[in-house]
Structures are given as structure tokens and as C-alpha cells.
């Protein structure tokens, strides 16, 4: 889980101070491997996504001076999750010897 400080802005309202925003970032497994059985490249893709989140609340001050409460999500934990890879069969080139 990565963290950064950011002012939250919604419409014409913004937080008076930066808040901690958490997000997922990192490396997950992916591969491209030839399958003789399928006679094509097989792709495995994974991406880093949130596993658990929680809600936080911050007060925003609007341009007209009014104040509103805003709920936002923060990431608690991340994990690698399977993602859809584009698998397009390509003809195999044969090399002459």
C-alpha cells in the first residue's frame, strides 16, 4: 500500500488540509509462454488491486463558504488479482534449416 497527501476537491468544494490517500502499486506476475497443445502463446496477466478498503470522512469548504462532509475510500490492503490478457492467435513461423 502506497500513500500520498492530497487535497480533495469535489465540484467547488475542497478540503482545507491535504489528507492521506492510499493506493495499490507494485509488480504482479505476468507471462507469455508457448503452448504446444494449443499451438499458440498463452498469456497470464495479474494486476495489483485493492483487497480491503475503509471509508473516511473529510469536511470540504465550498466557494460560497458552506461546508459539506465528503466520504472517500482508502486502501487497507492490496493483492495481485488475475486480469484479462489479450490473446490473439498468431501463425507460427517455421524456420528452414
Domain boundaries, the chain: 2-83
- Residues 37 and 8: their CA atoms lie apart, in Å, by 52
Tell me whether residue 1 is exposed, middle or buried, using C-beta atoms within 10 angstroms of its C-beta: 0 to 12, 13 to 18, 19 or more. middle
- The one-digit pLDDT tens for each residue of the chain (97 residues) are 999 999 999 999 999 999 999 999 988 888 889 999 999 988 889 999 999 999 999 999 999 999 999 999 999 999 999 888 765 555 555 555 5
Q: Are 26 and 44 in contact (CB under 8 A)?
A: no
Q: What is the CATH number of domain 2-83?
A: 2.10.90.10
Amino acid at each position: 500500500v502506497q500513500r500520498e497527501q492530497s487535497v480533495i476537491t469535489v465540484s467547488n468544494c475542497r478540503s482545507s488540509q491535504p489528507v492521506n490517500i492510499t493506493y495499490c502499486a507494485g509488480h504482479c506476475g505476468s507471462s507469455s509462454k508457448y503452448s504446444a497443445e494449443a499451438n499458440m502463446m498463452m498469456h497470464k496477466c495479474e494486476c495489483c488491486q485493492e483487497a480491503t478498503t475503509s471509508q473516511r470522512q473529510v469536511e470540504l469548504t465550498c466557494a460560497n463558504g458552506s461546508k459539506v462532509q465528503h466520504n472517500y475510500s482508502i486502501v487497507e490492503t492490496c493483492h495481485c488479482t488475475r486480469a484479462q490478457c489479450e490473446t490473439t492467435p498468431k501463425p507460427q513461423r517455421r524456420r528452414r534449416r
